[in-house]
Amino acid sequence: MAGWSTMAYGPLAEAAVRVGSPDAEVTLNEADAAALEYELYAIQAQLQRARGMLMWQRGDLHAAVSVLQSSANTARSQESVLELGRTLAVLAEVARAGGEARLAASADNERASIVERTGPEVRGLVWAGASVTPAACF
């Protein structure tokens, strides 16, 4: 049976990707396997976001956008507003990098709406306003 420590898989995998760890993909694959084995639905959006960022780092913008859109949809279906905001910040950056201005604007607008609804306590978080790069703090 899984304990609370299994919930660390999401942040660990995302951090490995963000810092460009050489074993980021292995860490992400292990986290995906643990999420499946232990039915860790709460970290699915985060793992999808990490996978999208990994694809972005590798230059596969089309695949990154697709996976990030899946992450956003997962977060929406789970009503995980903060995960959705974090994903939308990355999606906007990837969309801009890929020349998809409309998608970037849409993601930025939805993210801004989340920040407005959530309140001032999130305004200091990177995803709430500033540009996000794969290695940005979260």
* Structure confidence at residue 138 (pLDDT): 41
- Is the pLDDT reported for residue 4 higher than 70? no
- Helix 81-97 × helix 44-57 angle, to 10°: 20
* Structure confidence at residue 137 (pLDDT): 38
What are the φ and ψ backbone dihedral angles of 111, each rounded to 5 degrees? -65, -45
Type of residue at 118: T
Higher pLDDT among residues 107 and 126, named by residue: 107
* Structure confidence at residue 123 (pLDDT): 82
Q: For residue range 119-136, what is the model confidence (pLDDT) as tens digits?
A: 888 888 888 875 455 444
Higher pLDDT among residues 60 and 118, named by residue: 60
Structural domains of the chain, ranges and CATH numbers in brackets: 8-128 (1.25.40)
Indicate the pTM of the whole model.
0.90
Q: How far apart are CA 57 and CA 22, in angstroms?
A: 12
The single residue listed with the structure tokens 């604007």 is 105
**Which stretch of 4-8, 16-20, 118-122 has the lowest confidence by average pLDDT?**
4-8
